[in-house]
């Protein structure tokens, strides 16, 4: 498994896809270290490790450090998870603590 992280307002976690699985491209928009944002990061990391191991890329974007990116994605609520691929694109708002809702939004159930 290959992982890389960037720190400059964004954190990228890249995992090489398995030969037989679709790669999930996810973006999580957060606001610094506020409690809901921290919970969302913890929750999506746990979900990705359990259900998407080896086949996801998660980009965590702090809107305080990357406001232009939030504007370009028309972000109106925080935290928000955007599933870029596989299509269709989906958006999930909140701290992602409702695992069943998140799994349904990611089309994993």
The rounded distance, in Å, linking the Cα atoms of 90 and 108 is 12
The residue with greater pLDDT, 13 or 1, is 13
pLDDT for residue 20 = 52
pLDDT digits (tens, 9 = 90+) for 93-105: 999 999 999 999 9
pLDDT for residue 23 = 96
pLDDT for residue 21 = 76
pLDDT for residue 36 = 96
Best CATH choice for the domain 10-105 from the list 3.30.1950.10, 3.40.1010.20, 3.40.50.10470, 3.40.30.10:
3.40.30.10
Q: Which two tokens stand for residue 109?
A: 């159930």
pLDDT digits (tens, 9 = 90+) for 5-52: 333 344 554 444 444 578 999 999 999 999 999 999 999 999 999 999
* Sheet strand arrangement including 24-30: 10-14, 56-62, 24-30, 80-85, 90-93
């Amino acid at each position: 498994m290959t992982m890389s992280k960037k720190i400059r307002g964004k954190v990228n976690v890249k995992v090489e896809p398995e030969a037989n699985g679709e790669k999930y491209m996810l973006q999580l928009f957060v606001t610094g270290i506020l409690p809901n944002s921290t919970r969302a990061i913890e929750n999506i990391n746990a979900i990705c490790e359990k259900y998407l191991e080896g086949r996801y890329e998660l980009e965590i974007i702090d809107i305080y450090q990357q406001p232009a990116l939030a504007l370009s994605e028309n972000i109106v609520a925080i935290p928000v998870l955007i599933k870029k691929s596989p299509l269709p694109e989906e958006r999930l708002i909140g701290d992602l603590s409702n695992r069943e809702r998140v799994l349904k939004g990611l089309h994993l159930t």
